[in-house]
Amino acid sequence: MNDIAVILGNQLLSQDFEQAGGGTKLEQAKHLASLYASADQAIVVLSDLVFNKSYVYYGSAAAALGLQGQLSGAQIDSIWEEEVFARIHPDDLQAKHMQELRFFHFLKGISPAERSDYHVVRKLRMYNAMNRYVPVLHRMYYLLDLRNDHTEMALCLYGFDHFPSDHFEGRIVNARTGEAVPAGDGRANMLSRREQEVLSLIDSGKASKEIAGTLCISLNTVNRHRQNILEKLRVSNSIEACRVARSFNWIG
């Protein structure tokens, strides 16, 4: 599992689900997932973030992608479909998880009414049954509980890309307007401007006292920012924080 997936998993699963309903909504989502799998012949993974489980539906494309012999609707005790991930090009898998992390935070930054307009699309490479990479189109939807601002479920679809290109890239798209969210959209950044400044200075090797002097703030404030950064990025030290933030282009 790549580092970004670990960070993303921690964030998805550590939401406060105390009031989560589940039940009927999960059954409806399973029904939608199985319909998608049979209509598009796609591989459809419904991940339940409340109970840390997934349900995998295999359309007929699964066999050609080397995922033969699976029971449709089978339950996995994880939000990650490792068996599918193992067939995705590692670079594309990491980029996919990075985008899903960005998408998770992006949705929190916009109004609840807007959220259902957005999803993620990505062109990626997957091994086929002959262990050759073939172009696949991945779509991902977060199913939200708007009452308590949770991302309760994720729906991932993998199907052959019928208009392949040489670019393997992903986009957060607004299906209502047709627009893609620009990669540098500030709303998708989970760090405040001040936190970015602090982290940039940490990244350039400065100590907390120097950072306080440079930004004309107290040492206490610097330390509070440090703490918030670690919490927001769900990492345990500044070196990890810098690496994650750099991978998102949040710090230069």
Footprint on this chain of a second copy (rule: CB under 8 A):
32, 35-36, 39-42, 59-61, 63-64, 117, 121, 123, 128, 134, 141, 159-163, 165, 171, 173, 175-178, 180
CB of 44 to a second copy, least distance (A): 11
Q: Which is nearer to a second copy, 162 or 193 (CB)?
A: 162
CB of 225 to a second copy, least distance (A): 37
CB of 52 to a second copy, least distance (A): 24
Question: How far lies 87's CA from each of 18, 124, 163, 191, 194, in Å?
Answer: 35, 11, 20, 33, 40
What is the distance in angstroms between the CA of the first residue and the CA of the last residue of the chain?
26
Computed over its alpha carbons, how large is the radius of gyration of the chain? 20
| Residue pair 159/137 in contact by the 8 Å Cβ criterion | yes
| Residue pair 187/110 in contact by the 8 Å Cβ criterion | yes
CB of 32 to a second copy, least distance (A): 6
Q: Which two tokens stand for residue 22?
A: 């589940």
Q: Which is nearer to a second copy, 123 or 226 (CB)?
A: 123
Q: Which is nearer to a second copy, 51 or 160 (CB)?
A: 160
| Other C-beta atoms lying within 10 Å of the C-beta of residue 130 | 8
Q: Which is nearer to a second copy, 44 or 245 (CB)?
A: 44
